[in-house]
A and B are shown apart, each in its own frame.
Chain A
Amino acid sequence: MDSKFKNRVREQFSRTATAYVEAKHFSGGEDLEEAARLLQPTQDDNMLDVACGGGHMALFFAPMVRQVVASDLTMQMLKKAQEHIAEEGLIDNVIFREADAEDLPFPAGSFTLLTCRIAPHHFPDVPRALKEFHRVLRRGGRMVIIDTLLPSDPEIAEFFQTMETMRNPTHVRAYNEDEWQEMIQDAELILQEMLIIPKVHEFQDWVKTAGLNRTQIQNLNKFFMDAPAAVHDYFKIESFAGEVETFTDQKLIIYATRKEKEKK
């Protein structure tokens, strides 16, 4: 990963680490339940949660597996996640590593489960990260990736890309289903299932998690309000007196596995 970009990511998430740990829209959710349903975790599983952010995925899965290794590029985020998990008590099987998703510091075949939630849109090189995920997964290992779906309509996709970048300049890009399918296959992972679930965002919480100031929030609000009807329909933008209250985006949940036996 380009080190200047990496530093921007770390600066962004160091500044907002506490908000991420506390964010209600990350701590629970249907996507976590779906991930558990797909992965069927057991006490024999050794899990890696890549780009763990506030540690919500790690905390959710910890009671179901033997051990969770939670990695993130940002030390401040790891510290906050570690504190948060310690406060929960009872959980003693989560360990933290500062690592780059595109250069993972784990031996080949270390994990039986791998998760990566709402993070790949910050990766400059998703295919490279996927190759790393394949490498660190044991044969037959299971993986769930969750990320925001890129809308298929170009006009809506352009709005989406702009609004995400206005909110967080380290947003690189999201991908649609076809792109994910191709990247998963190129990484020699076997796509088992893809599903899409809607996610409702409280606009004010969503902007505050990203640490925006008042002017930036006003600009983003205006950008939403001025968007064409097709955008309002897709994102189900709800507003009152010119202020965006909620909008809904689509989360893509990808369930893939590593082959049982490698072809030589």
Chain B
Amino acid sequence: MSLKPELLEILVCPKCKQEIQANEDASLLSCEQCRLRFPVRDGIPVLLSDEAESY
């Protein structure tokens, strides 16, 4: 299950509060500033800094 694109407008990085970008199938959300990737599990974005993956 992926995210509806219109819902992404109301998400920011929990750490720096800057906009986050979804990948093509909205299975991952990335903060370019913090270089963090947030997973999306069963259509629910996990917006926790310590669950995010550095890249």
Contact = CB atoms under 8 A, between A and B. Distances in A.
Interface of A: 3, 6, 69, 73, 75, 78-79, 82, 95-100, 103-108, 110
A98 B17 CA distance: 15
Given A104-B14, A106-B12, A79 B47 contact: no
Given A103-B15, A107-B17, A108-B17, A69 B10 contact: yes
A96 B43 CA distance: 8
11 contacts: A6-B50, A96-B43, A96-B44, A97-B47, A98-B46, A99-B48, A100-B14, A105-B14, A105-B47, A106-B12, A108-B17
Contacts of B48: 73, 98-100, 103
Main secondary structure on A side of the interface with B = mixed
A98 B50 CA distance: 12
Given A98-B51, A105-B12, A105-B13, 13 more contacts: A69-B10, A75-B41, A75-B44, A75-B46, A79-B44, A97-B11, A97-B45, A99-B48, A100-B48, A103-B14, A104-B14, A106-B10, A108-B17
**Interface size for chain B: under 10, 10 to 19, 20 to 34, or 35 or more residues?**
20 to 34
A110 B42 contact: no
Contacts of A106: 10-12
Nearest to A48: B10
A22 to B, nearest CB: 20
Interface of B: 7, 10-15, 17, 19-20, 41-51
Contacts of B46: 75, 98
A98 B45 contact: yes
A97 B45 CA distance: 5
A78 B11 CA distance: 17
A95 B17 contact: no
A98 B44 contact: yes
Contact of B42 (A79, A100, A108): A79
A128 B46 CA distance: 20
Contacts of B41: 75, 98
Contacts of B51: 98
A99 B50 CA distance: 11
Contacts of B45: 97-98, 105
A107 B47 contact: no
Contacts of B10: 69, 106-107, 110
Nearest to A107: B12
A26 to B, nearest CB: 20
A155 to B, nearest CB: 39
A237 B32 CA distance: 55
Contacts of B50: 3, 6
A78 B14 contact: no
Best-buried of B10, B46, B47 by chain A (most CB within 10 Å)? B10
